Amino acid sequence: MAPPPATTSRVLFVLLLVALTAGGVSAANFYITNLCRFPVWPGVIPAGVSVEVKPGQTWHIPVPAGTAGGRIWARTDCYFVGSHGGCETGDCGGALSCMLSGKPPTTLAEFTIGFDTGALDYYDISVVDGFNVPMDFSCSTGGDLIRCREPGCPDASHPGEAKVRTCRGDSDYQVVFCS
């Protein structure tokens, strides 16, 4: 027996609404490349994941749409046994996977990923928490390349001055340490 016409219309409406809403939500891909002569363990929040990235390697991590206040930084001179240890710079309480920002000094790639395809994303490099490694941060769809080579780098956000860039919401990002 077929459902009454009103029920079928409601079901179709709900399915259409779900399809339209889901169509605009996607993840941004972050490609984190280590060009340093030493390994780094990127801190990534709010994702709370990390791996050792050896010199010359690239690590990919998807970041969901609607992520606000995201940060990526290089942790250096790290040692871990299982999920506990520590790092000389950027340490997050001895944890392998960071749930909080790293201990200064850290050069930070900061970002907010828009909620919808085509909405704007925001990104910058910050030296507000200090400087530990040179960093480049770029957007795949024509946003500005931000280069930070030294603590006073002119492209970075400093205390009291934010230098935030925008990028189209369906972009991917490249973070390069020691470029």
For residue range 27-66, list pLDDT tens digits in order. 899 999 999 999 999 999 998 889 999 999 999 999 998 9
Q: What is the mean pLDDT of the chain?
A: 85
pLDDT band at 10 (very low <50, low <70, confident <90, very high): very low
**Residue 43, Ramachandran bin (φ over 0: left; ψ between -120 and 50: alpha; else beta):** beta
Predicted TM-score of the model (pTM): 0.83
DSSP characters over 75-138: -EEEEEETTEEEEEES--TTBSS-SSPPPSS--EEEEE--SSTTSEEEEEEE-TT--SS-EEEE
Question: What's the average model confidence in pLDDT over 11-22?
Answer: 30
Helix (H) or strand (E) holding 18: helix 5-23
Task: List the chain domain ranges.
Answer: 25-177
% the chain with pLDDT above 90: 66
Show the tokens assigned to 95.
């944890």
Neighbours of 61 (CB within 10 A): 19
101 pLDDT above the threshold of 50: yes
Secondary structure (3-state) at 157: strand
Q: Please report the pLDDT score of residue 106 as a whole number.
A: 96
- Rounded CA separation 127/132 (Å): 9
Q: Is the CATH number 3.40.50.300 carried by domain 25-177? A: no
